[in-house]
Amino acid sequence: MFNWQYFIIACVGCLILYFVYGYFSKRHYFQILSLFYRENKVDEYLERLNSFSSKIFFTYKIRQLLRIDAYMAKKDYEALDEIFTYLNSTGLKPGDRYTVLQKEVIAYADNSQDEKALKALHEMEEMLPKFKKNQEHYQAMYNECKYIIAIKVEKDGQYAEDLAKIAREAQMPVAKGMYFIKASQSYYLRGDMKMCKNRLEDAYDYLKETTYGEEIKKIIDNNELEKILNLAI
């Protein structure tokens, strides 16, 4: 005869395990993200992603997704190419696939792999109409990549004013700083050195405590504006 009491106890036990696992998984997730995004400990962050606990809580695919920004910060394009190749061979959700394509545009454009960058942007353009929800979010991601292609691949400063406007309207300090860098690069490409330096100084105000701070300060102090195009965006 079926024992409902044991069945109920087993179900309750499974639910408890499920919620305990979820709690520790989320806690671990935010702890390791803090290493990279708050403390700027890139190598330690990557080491933690290889730890036993990370392998318990995250699949290999998730860990590869989480590695992308860290390797972009290190400018390790060989590692990034391996990750992109792997992820492109797996079945990603449309939103995740779109995000990976965005990272590809940024990484390949920064590494002068223009054809790969343009291919990724074209795929984003094809996917964009398929998103029925959060259209503004995905459009903004596409626009950001369009700006990067203009600066890094086409060497065109046509979006300088647009980028400065976006920077002023952005809410997060890092986002403001990054858009000011793009605006500064765009003004440089247009030959407007005064506006280029002004926008770079704006960028420094928001990025001085980040990995960009020291590099930006050197460019400003030494008046080496030609080096601004070397900044990853």
Question: What is d(CA 118, CA 124) in angstroms, rounded to the nearest whole number?
Answer: 10
The C-alpha R_g of the chain, in whole angstroms, comes to 21
What is the average pLDDT score of the chain?
85
Residue type, 23: Y
pLDDT for 30: 62
User: Is the Cβ–Cβ distance between 42 and 74 less than 8 Å?
Assistant: yes
Query: Residue 149's closest CA among 185, 188, 113, 118?
Result: 118
The domain locations on the chain are 155-233
Q: Are 217 and 204 in contact (CB under 8 A)?
A: yes
Amino acid in position 16: I
Look at residue 23 in the predicted model and tell me its pLDDT.
Answer: 47
Look at residue 21 in the predicted model and tell me its pLDDT: 40
d(CA 69, CA 163): 22
- Taking the model in full, what pTM does it have? 0.79
Query: What token pair was written down for 126?
Result: 């094809």
The segments of the chain whose pLDDT lies below 70 read 1-30, 33, 36-37
Distance of alpha carbon 232 from alpha carbon 230, whole angstroms: 6
